[in-house]
Amino acid sequence: MATETLPFIETEEAADQDTTRSYLPMYKVIMWNDDVTTMEFVVRVLVKLFGKDYNTAERLMYEIHASGAAHVATLPLEQAEFKVEQVHAAASLEQFPFTCTIEPA
C-alpha cells in the first residue's frame, strides 16, 4: 500500500506560531578580579571553558585585571549557570578564590 503525502498548506495559525516564538532570555557572564588568581589561569579558563582564542582570552584577562571585572560571554540562563559552576570548580581545584557571576543581558 502506497503512502500518500499531502502538500503543506500554510494556515493563519501556522504563520502566527512562527512569528510568536519566544526566545530564552540571555545572561552575561562576568569575571571578577582578585589578588590571588594567576593571569595564566584566567587565560586558560577563557580558552578551555569559553572557547576563546588565545589573543581574545589575553585581552579579556587584562580587562579583568585593569577594570576589576569583564563581560566574557552572553548565554541562555542554564548555560551561563553551568559555565559559572565550571569556572568555580576549576578555581577550587587550584585553590584560587576566582569569582564569576551572571546578570541579565
pLDDT, tens digit, 9 for 90 and up, residues 55-94: 999 999 999 999 999 999 999 999 999 999 999 999 999 9
pLDDT at 19 over 90: no
Model's pTM, two decimal places? 0.77
Gap between the Cα atoms of 74 and 80, Å rounded = 7
For residues 61 and 35, the answer to whether their CB atoms sit within 8 Å is no
pLDDT at 3 over 90: no
Confidence class of residue 10 from pLDDT cuts 50, 70 and 90? Answer: low
Three-state DSSP at 77 gives helix
Question: Within a 10 A sphere around the Cβ of 26, how many other Cβ atoms?
Answer: 14
**What's the longest Cα–Cα distance across the chain?**
74
Domains and CATH numbers, the chain: 34-104 (3.30.1390.10)
What pLDDT, on a 0 to 100 scale, did the predictor assign at position 88? 97
Confidence class of residue 16 from pLDDT cuts 50, 70 and 90? Answer: low
For residues 94 and 41, the answer to whether their CB atoms sit within 8 Å is yes
Question: Within a 10 A sphere around the Cβ of 91, how many other Cβ atoms?
Answer: 20
